[in-house]
């Protein structure tokens, strides 16, 4: 690597990008904070409200102009803001301290939108075309309905001359005139968070900048830096599929799509510019530009949102984690209900190379009585491995349509791999370039050697979807949406935007184009298998955790990533059981199995062998045991999935989502709730027991007992050391749960939904309750049965 960097310095120093003061490589995240320490930039600090129309929710904020100057104290230099008189010419054409627009809009009794500009030019409203917003949200608020917008909820206002307060039943937003602040309060009037003003700095040194924006000395471009209070004891969650600790306080989180080569670093395939606090509020940063969210990493009392965007557009939400997730997904969309078969076992490896191999895998799954529903062909189904040309290799797939029909007859759906990058040797390369279907550079050529499909171009989408549809018409059920992280920052896109704003949107456009093709072909039962994502991608389910290492750290990273992803508005998620990179050691793979089967979607994939019968007889038995468990639990899985789609909840769920009043639940990140009633604690190290935290609702009358799913043993809430059963994980059920089970079937289309057993799990509860939702049903059924005996 050192030699590579040295060569780059000599040969390409004029072209290579810099980030955080070092040479930037495309696989690296963008650190947007560094520009806010640049002495050549001009700084504008939000100072006061110049004017405000309370009824319209709009006004002007005065921004004071500063420069950052070095200040020497005791032989050490620090930053010091100095009021600045502009040198711009002609000086009469510009304002030294501009008054710029502020707008507040109310979305629901729990949600509001706050926008602030850094220029007098009001941008064209593109909300109707915004990719991150759900169609339902846009139709309700930003599209004309019979010539009128739908009425927004009432937030009664008061103005005492010093501040404007908008208050709803769940909280309030106060805009202080001077010093300018935006203050979020709960319904009792407690401050949840507030923006920071320069007067908050002490007199000895500037420890951080306040709520501000910069104008770069290099090119006059602008970027914003909203700064909010971070309180003692505060915890922050969300930000996408992050593999670091769930609580983001103390971390600097870079929200820029990258390929981190697995779930073991701070890079993310699926960053999401949304987070929430244990104090009862959430924030959606409505931007596609890179963001560096500094949650107390460089100043322990501040949330510093370094955004590449030139305007501030924040949605704020009030409530519990469930309420905030519901509100956020009302804006960006809820995950659709996947088809039943997708919840079954997906069998794969990298890779099956022939028709015979695929059929043989399907045959052996049935011979070994391992319930399964999907066979996936990864990179090797083309004529040349990794060279996507949308055609089965003629020499190895003699009759692909016949193969697909045979697999379907045996109860298997088929998934195929592909990617949106086309090398110069790909047969479609010339066609893509000739028809301008690719991302271009400033000269109209190509920013990289490969032709990267430009999904902001409707013609590209049509071309791409036609290739996918041809495969679907042959009998393919779904497509793997791999990669999508490498959209060039220096590219020029058909949308008219540059890479700064299109890079993070690329996965969303890619997910959307593929999902729509599959969904259209299968009449509303579309599903994809995607690696990259951005805010809004949850509407195009589903996603998996990338290329995990085949060790304990890879497993831990996947678990953290799945939990964090679920706390970012995504209901459905999967991961490669056993890891991906190398052949999985049997012990790791065995302990990973229950985590895989007790996730919304279950896939065996990675370096061979992944097929259990190629590992050992005892491992095959263990694999079968876990698969049998999930297929018996399929009515529970299906009903819980339906509930998730209605409320924006994740199937793989952090404990505190279900138990927000249990302070201990907020500390746990190596266990999870599978739906609302089953707790899973995977074995992250070798052994047959582990320490587990069992939460309590804290609600009077609720039982605090937990029942072992495998042994029936009853445990009290709190910390317990629990031995695993035959399945190597701790699996517990909440007291008072009614868990629907089905007779075991080898495929989901053979489940007997008329023979469901509503199994009661009871210790101290007065009644048992659960959810039932069957294929063909239109609504969830909530079932409650009184306990007659214990």
Residues catalogued as catalytic: 482, 485, 547
Q: Which one, of 461, 442, 445, lies nearest residue 453 by Cα?
A: 461
Whether the CA torsion 775, 649, 602, 465 is positive or negative: it is positive
Q: Are 329 and 644 in contact (CB under 8 A)?
A: no
Query: Residue 639 belongs to what H/E stretch?
Result: helix 634-647
Q: Provide the Cα torsion 606, 608, 611, 614; round to 10°.
A: -160
Q: Which one, of 535, 647, 561, 661, lies nearest residue 278 by Cα?
A: 661
Length of the chain: 790
Q: Are 167 and 109 in contact (CB under 8 A)?
A: no
The tokens describing 283, both together, are: 């924030």
Beta bridge partners of 181: 176
The tokens describing 374, both together, are: 């999907």
Query: Strand ranges (DSSP E) for 33-148?
Result: 42-53, 58-73, 76-83, 99-108, 111-116
- Counting runs of H as helices and runs of E as strands, what totals does the chain give? 14, 44
CA distances from 134 to 105, 140, 467, 502 (A): 17, 10, 26, 18
Burial-class residue 24 by CB neighbours within 10 Å (0-12, 13-18, 19+): middle
Tell me if residue 57 falls in helix, strand or coil.
Answer: coil
Q: Provide the Cα torsion 649, 653, 659, 661; round to 10°.
A: -80
Distance CA 282, CA 279 (A): 9
Residue identified by tokens 């004891």 is 233
CA distances from 122 to 3, 102, 126, 370 (A): 48, 11, 12, 60
DSSP H stretches of helix in 233-354: 321-332
Q: Cα 95 to the chain's mean position, in Å?
A: 41
């Amino acid at each position: 690597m050192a030699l590579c960097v040295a060569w780059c310095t000599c040969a390409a120093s004029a072209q290579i990008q810099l980030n955080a003061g070092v040479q930037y490589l495309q696989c690296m995240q963008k650190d947007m904070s560094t520009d806010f320490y640049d002495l050549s930039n001009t700084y504008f600090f939000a100072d006061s409200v110049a004017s405000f129309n309370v009824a319209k929710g709009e006004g002007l904020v005065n921004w004071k102009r500063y420069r950052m100057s070095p200040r020497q104290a005791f032989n050490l230099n620090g930053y010091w803001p100095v009021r600045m008189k502009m040198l711009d010419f002609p000086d009469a054409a510009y304002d030294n301290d501009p008054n710029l627009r502020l707008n507040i809009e109310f979305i629901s009794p729990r949600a509001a939108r706050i926008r602030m500009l850094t220029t007098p030019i009001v941008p064209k409203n593109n909300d109707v075309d915004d990719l991150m917003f759900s169609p339902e949200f846009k139709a309700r608020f930003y599209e004309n309905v019979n010539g009128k917008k739908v009425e927004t909820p009432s937030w009664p206002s008061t103005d005492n001359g010093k501040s404007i307060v908008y208050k709803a039943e769940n909280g309030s937003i106060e805009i202080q005139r001077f010093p300018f602040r935006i203050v979020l309060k709960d319904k009792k009037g407690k401050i949840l968070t507030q923006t920071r003003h320069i007067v908050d700095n002490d007199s000895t040194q500037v420890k951080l900048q306040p709520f501000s924006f910069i104008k770069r000395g290099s090119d006059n471009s602008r970027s914003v830096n909203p700064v909010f209070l971070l309180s003692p004891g505060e915890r922050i969650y969300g930000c996408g599929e992050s593999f670091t600790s769930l609580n983001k306080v103390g971390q600097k989180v870079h929200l820029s799509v990258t390929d981190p080569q697995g779930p073991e670093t701070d890079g993310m395939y699926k960053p999401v510019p949304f987070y929430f606090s244990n104090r009862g509020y959430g924030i959606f940063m409505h931007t596609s530009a890179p963001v560096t969210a500094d949650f107390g990493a460089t100043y322990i009392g501040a949330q510093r949102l370094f955004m590449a965007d030139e305007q501030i557009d924040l949605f704020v939400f009030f409530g519990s984690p469930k309420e905030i997730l519901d509100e956020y997904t009302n804006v960006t969309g809820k995950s659709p209900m996947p088809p039943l078969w997708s919840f079954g076992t997906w069998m794969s490896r990298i890779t099956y190379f022939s028709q015979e191999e695929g059929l043989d895998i399907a045959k052996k799954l049935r011979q070994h009585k391992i319930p399964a529903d999907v066979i996936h062909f990864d990179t090797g189904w083309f004529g040349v491995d990794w060279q996507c040309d949308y055609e089965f290799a003629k020499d190895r797939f003699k009759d692909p349509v016949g193969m697909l029909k045979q697999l379907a007859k045996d109860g298997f759906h088929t998934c195929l791999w592909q990617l949106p990058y086309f090398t110069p040797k790909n047969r479609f390369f010339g066609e893509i370039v000739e028809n301008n279907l690719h991302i271009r550079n400033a000269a109209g050529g190509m920013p990289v050697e490969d032709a990267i499909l430009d999904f902001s171009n409707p013609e590209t989408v049509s071309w791409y979807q036609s290739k996918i549809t041809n495969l679907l018409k042959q009998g393919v059920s779904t497509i793997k949406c791999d990669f999508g992280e490498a959209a060039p920052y220096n590219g020029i896109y058909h949308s008219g935007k540059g890479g700064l704003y299109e890079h993070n949107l690329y996965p969303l456009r890619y997910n959307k184009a593929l999902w729509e093709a599959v969904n259209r072909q299968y009449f509303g039962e579309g599903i994809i298998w995607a690696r990259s994502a951005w805010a809004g991608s949850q509407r195009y389910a589903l996603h998996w955790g990338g290329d995990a290492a085949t060790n304990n750290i890879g497993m831990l990273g996947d678990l953290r990533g799945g939990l964090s992803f679920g706390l970012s508005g995504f209901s459905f998620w999967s991961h490669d059981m056993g890891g991906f990179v190398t052949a999985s050691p049997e012990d790791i793979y065995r302990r990973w199995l229950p985590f895989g089967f007790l996730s919304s979607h279950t896939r065996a994939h990675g370096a061979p062998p992944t097929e259990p019968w190629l590992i050992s007889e005892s491992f095959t038995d263990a694999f079968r045991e876990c698969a049998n468990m999930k297929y018996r639990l399929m009515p529970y899985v299906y009903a819980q999935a339906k509930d998730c789609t209605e409320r924006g909840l994740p199937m793989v769920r952090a404990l505190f989502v279900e138990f927000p009043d249990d302070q201990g639940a907020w500390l746990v990140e190596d266990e999870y709730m599978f739906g609302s009633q089953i707790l899973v604690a995977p074995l992250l190290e070798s052994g047959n027991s582990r320490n587990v935290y069992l939460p309590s609702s804290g609600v009077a009358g609720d039982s605090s007992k937990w029942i072992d799913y495998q042994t029936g043993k009853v445990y009290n809430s709190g910390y317990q050391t629990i031995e695993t059963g035959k399945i190597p994980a701790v699996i517990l059920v909440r007291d008072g749960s009614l868990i629907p089970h089905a007779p075991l079937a080898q495929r989901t289309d053979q489940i007997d939904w008329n023979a469901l057993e509503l199994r009661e799990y009871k210790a101290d509860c007065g009644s048992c309750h659960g959810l039932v939702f069957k294929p063909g049903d239109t609504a969830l059924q909530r079932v409650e049965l009184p306990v007659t005996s214990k």
